[in-house]
Amino acid sequence: MNNEQQVLDNVDKLEVMLRSEDELDPGQAQELKTLATGLPIRDVIAIVERCNAVRAALVLRLLPRRKAIEVFDAMDFAQQADVIDELGNAEVFEYFDALEPEDRVALLDELPVEIADRLLRSLNKPDRDITGVVLGYEKGSVGRRMSPEVPTLHPEMTAAAALAQLKETAQDLETIYTLPIVEADRRLVGVVSFREVFQAPDTTPLGELMREAVFATATDDAEEVARWFLPLDFLALPIVDASGRLVGLLAWDDAMDIQEEADNEDTARAGGTNPLHQPYLSTPLMKLVKSRIVWLLVLAVSALLTVQVLAMFEEALAAAVVLSLFIPLLTGTGGNTGNQAATTVTRALAMGDVRDRDLWGVLWRELRIGMVLGAVLGTVGFILATLVYDVKIGTVIGTTLFLVCTMSASVGGLMPLVAKKVGADPAVFSNPFISTFCDATGLIIYFLIAKSVLGI
């Protein structure tokens, strides 16, 4: 307990030092070294993720080599790239060398070409070759994220022979817990978990233990593969080339990283920003501005549509100023209903619960949901507006709410699917765009009803 409190205190101290804007004097550097070295690795990682590149590099330099490499390994690739700018060549080469081939490639993707080249050339021949295998696949493909270091086990091998071979070669492999079985030509024929081999009688051939392999092709989309592979709770997924030959394994932790990046992107886009690829506090301010300004401008320009719509009805507005009082309420409710539908469908799409071809099914569901929601809100709106104003205003507000909810839920549910159909990211077209669209359409509905009911 006491010890735990000590750790928490030291975490605080270290964090305050690293986040301060002042230069550190040599005495502080010494204290920082003692603190960072003494803390559990997971606390050091959490702190480093939250500080800027200069300070992160400083921590790496002060830590014992092995711990420094572990911390570097745990950073996001974008932050690794930032930190590399701050480190000397020799250090960089060492960190780079210690990464798994697939993590090396992910880091290279974040770096300027000349630095990437220099790093690649710093590797020894076998490491460069194995990294080259991964680099050979397109960005976004599962081949680009797999580990190319796989065991070579054949169906006729006995359990004992397999265990002996694994014991010798294990240090070169990313995982030994999922064992793909291949023919002499490296064609994948099955898969067996280490646990099954470990528990089998010595003389049992692997061919008897293995089951049909679930696998992916190296050119498959990495996000899609991660989404269906992770719920199966397997530790690794064999990856094959176009002719079914084993080329690598996608480990669960790499699949999880892929899914997390995708979730981060979806969340960011749903909020109308570009994804950051980096922890919030260590992201430079102007990078945050850049991630938002374009969307904000695009949305503001599309909102000019609402100005146009209102200008069309300027006469009606002048005739009954009371109509303008309800504008934010009606557009807001439309936006909210649309967002609810869009959020639910976008997430369902990402999780694979809904697919492109479910378009009509989704529209039919959302149409009915929108009508129920609209009926409830419309009734409440009718009663309130009738009490405060009069029955005519009540009728306008009630009818508009009903129609706006029905329309917004349908559009909100449909948009992510349409986006996907035309090849765009469902999250891009989502919440803020739907709000703007529902604003404009809702206003038209509102004024048409108002004009006919009020006779203006």
Site for a second copy in 348-407 (CB under 8 A): 348, 351-354, 358, 361-362, 365, 368-369, 372-373, 376-377, 380-381, 384, 405
Q: 97-116: which residues touch a second copy (CB under 8 A)?
A: none
Q: Which residue, 221 or 263, is less far from a second copy as judged by CB?
A: 263
Q: Is 439 in the site for a second copy (CB under 8 A)?
A: yes
Q: Which residue, 51 or 119, is less far from a second copy as judged by CB?
A: 51
Q: 276-305: which residues touch a second copy (CB under 8 A)?
A: 276, 279-281, 285-286, 288-289, 292-293, 295-297, 299-300, 303-304
Q: 184-243: which residues touch a second copy (CB under 8 A)?
A: 195, 198-199, 212, 214, 228, 230-233, 235
Q: Which range binds a second copy by CB under 8 A, 85-93, 112-120, 258-266, 414-422? A: 258-266
Token couple for 224: 């899609």
Q: Which range binds a second copy by CB under 8 A, 85-93, 136-144, 171-179, 414-422? A: 171-179
Q: Least distance (Å) from a second copy to the CB of residue 338?
A: 10
Token couple for 320: 């009954």
- CA dist 113 → 117, 118, 124 (Å): 6, 9, 19
Residues 306-325: x where in contact with a second copy by CB under 8 A, - otherwise, as a string: xx--xx--x--xx--xx-xx
Q: 329-348: which residues touch a second copy (CB under 8 A)?
A: 329, 331-333, 335-337, 339-340, 342-345, 347-348
Q: Least distance (Å) from a second copy to the CB of residue 9?
A: 14
Residues 38-77: x where in contact with a second copy by CB under 8 A, - otherwise, as a string: --xxx--xx--xx-----------------------x---
Q: Least distance (Å) from a second copy to the CB of residue 27?
A: 25
Distance CA 336, CA 404 (A): 11
